[in-house]
């Protein structure tokens, strides 16, 4: 057994209907595929119907569950409400929402237009808030239990240059997660977040490491465990957090980054660049034999 394999037992999500924003590509798709394997039905939503339809077809060919593709730009509340109504029409009830849709790109902040900044804020923070508000109001009115799982990043709490709109928006999503975990627990609604480190996807890599940057800034080199993430290990964590097995986990953010952000944070962590011979010399110079 290892991290490239599914972790939960068969049928762990049986009877659950789960909405995944940005579920047609990348990590949203990977998490969705595993939810399906565990017995869930899915709604996958984003702006591109063709992509969603193809993904839904491929997903259903692999597993027995139902996958409903729905177009929705999460920035538009009318589209979010219409999409939610279609979810209810399709399944009667949605048990979990995975807020995964995002927009991002690298740029020195002073080069950004106001529209560029707002575009990322709107997809990530406004989009997540609108989906959350729509689902939460419905669950509360219908006295249904529900679970939110929000995908943030480790720079939601450290901040990061060159992706400032994303950092500000993800920090907002983290605050939303923690706030509602308390406020809506009385309705039986849990909220948690996952903060992934680097997990290769076409969407992220093309925008964050365009062209030769991927060779110059190999993300694996920044990770203490020496590699980037594998989609299945993220899917394992997400399936646990969206399932009833995590019923007592509420308001938390779980980091899955091989120790990457802590490596950047620890004052002396870059001393790993010092070769063993230099440590030997330093030891010798204080009178101790290597």
Which residues are designated catalytic? 155
Residue 149 in the binding site for ligand NAP (CB under 6 A): no
Residue 96 in the binding site for ligand NAP (CB under 6 A): no
Residue 28 in the binding site for ligand NAP (CB under 6 A): yes
Tokens of 37: 């394997």
Measured from the CB atom, the residue of 59 and 163 that comes closer to ligand HXC is 163
39: left (phi over 0), alpha (psi -120 to 50) or beta: left
Residue 74 in the binding site for ligand NAP (CB under 6 A): yes
Partner whose footprint covers residue 148, from ligand HXC, ligand NAP, none (CB < 5 to 8 Å by kind)? none
Applying CB under 6 A, the site for ligand NAP has a residue count of: 30
> Alpha helices, DSSP H only, in the chain?
26-37, 49-62, 77-91, 114-121, 127-141, 155-158, 164-183, 202-208, 213-216, 231-242, 260-265, 276-285
Residue 172 in the binding site for ligand NAP (CB under 6 A): no
Measured from the CB atom, the residue of 23 and 103 that comes closer to ligand HXC is 103
Give the whole-angstrom CA distance, residue 248 versus residue 11: 20
Q: Is residue 101 a contact partner of residue 25, using CB atoms and an 8 Å limit?
A: no
Tokens of 260: 């990457």
The span of 51-59, 103-111, 139-147, 262-270 binding ligand HXC (CB under 6 A) equals 103-111
Choose which of 34, 35, 184, 199 interacts with ligand NAP (CB under 6 A).
Answer: 199
Choose which of 113, 221, 248, 288 interacts with ligand HXC (CB under 6 A).
Answer: 113
Choose which of 63, 201, 262, 263 interacts with ligand NAP (CB under 6 A).
Answer: 201
Closest approach, Cβ 259 to ligand NAP, in A, equals 15
Tokens 């992706």, residue? Answer: 163
Q: Is residue 41 a contact partner of residue 66, using CB atoms and an 8 Å limit?
A: yes
Applying CB under 6 A, the site for ligand HXC has a residue count of: 18
Partner whose footprint covers residue 113, from ligand HXC, ligand NAP, none (CB < 5 to 8 Å by kind)? ligand HXC
Closest approach, Cβ 280 to ligand NAP, in A, equals 38
Residue 27 in the binding site for ligand NAP (CB under 6 A): yes
Query: Coil, strand or helix: which one is 67?
Result: strand
Tokens of 143: 């006295």
Which of positions 201-220 make contact with ligand HXC (CB under 6 A)? Answer: 203-204, 207-208
Question: Which residue's CB atom is positioned nearest to ligand HXC?
Answer: 103
DSSP single-letter state for residue 208: H
Which of positions 119-178 make contact with ligand HXC (CB under 6 A)? Answer: 119-120, 153, 166
Strand order in the sheet with 253-256: 67-71, 41-46, 17-21, 96-99, 146-151, 189-196, 253-256
- Nearest Cα to Cα of residue 246 among 2, 19, 87, 16: 16
The span of 6-14, 73-81, 107-115, 248-256 binding ligand NAP (CB under 6 A) equals 73-81
Give the whole-angstrom CA distance, residue 245 versus residue 232: 18
Write out the residues near ligand NAP by the rule CB under 6 A. 21-22, 24-28, 46-48, 51, 72-75, 100-104, 123, 127, 151, 153, 196, 198-199, 201, 203-204
């Amino acid at each position: 057994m290892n991290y490239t394999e599914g972790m939960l037992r068969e049928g762990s999500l049986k009877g659950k209907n789960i909405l995944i924003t940005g579920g047609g590509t990348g990590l949203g798709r990977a998490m969705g595929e595993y939810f399906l394997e565990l017995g869930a039905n899915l709604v996958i939503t984003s702006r591109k119907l063709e992509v969603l339809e193809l993904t839904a077809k491929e997903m259903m060919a692999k597993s027995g569950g139902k996958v409903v593709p729905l177009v929705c730009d999460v920035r538009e509340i009318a589209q979010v409400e219409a999409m939610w109504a279609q979810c209810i029409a399709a399944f009667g009830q949605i048990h979990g929402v995975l807020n995964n849709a995002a927009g991002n790109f690298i740029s020195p902040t002073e080069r950004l237009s106001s529209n560029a900044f707002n575009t990322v804020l709107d997809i990530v923070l406004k989009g997540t808030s609108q989906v959350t508000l729509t689902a939460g109001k419905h669950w509360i009115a219908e006295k249904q239990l529900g679970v939110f799982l929000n995908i943030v990043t480790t720079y939601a709490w450290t901040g990061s240059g060159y992706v400032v709109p994303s950092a500000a928006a993800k920090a907002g999503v983290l605050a939303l997660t923690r706030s509602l975990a308390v406020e809506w627990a009385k309705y039986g609604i849990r909220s948690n977040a996952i903060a992934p480190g680097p997990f290769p996807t076409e969407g992220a890599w093309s925008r964050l490491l365009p062209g030769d940057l991927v060779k110059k800034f190999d993300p694996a080199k920044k990770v203490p465990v020496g590699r980037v993430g594998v989609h299945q290990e993220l899917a394992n964590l997400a399936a646990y957090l969206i399932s009833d097995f995590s019923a007592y986990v509420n308001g938390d953010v779980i980091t899955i980054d091989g120790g990457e952000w802590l490596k950047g944070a620890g004052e002396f962590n870059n001393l790993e660049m010092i070769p063993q011979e230099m440590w030997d010399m330093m030891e010798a110079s204080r009178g101790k034999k290597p």
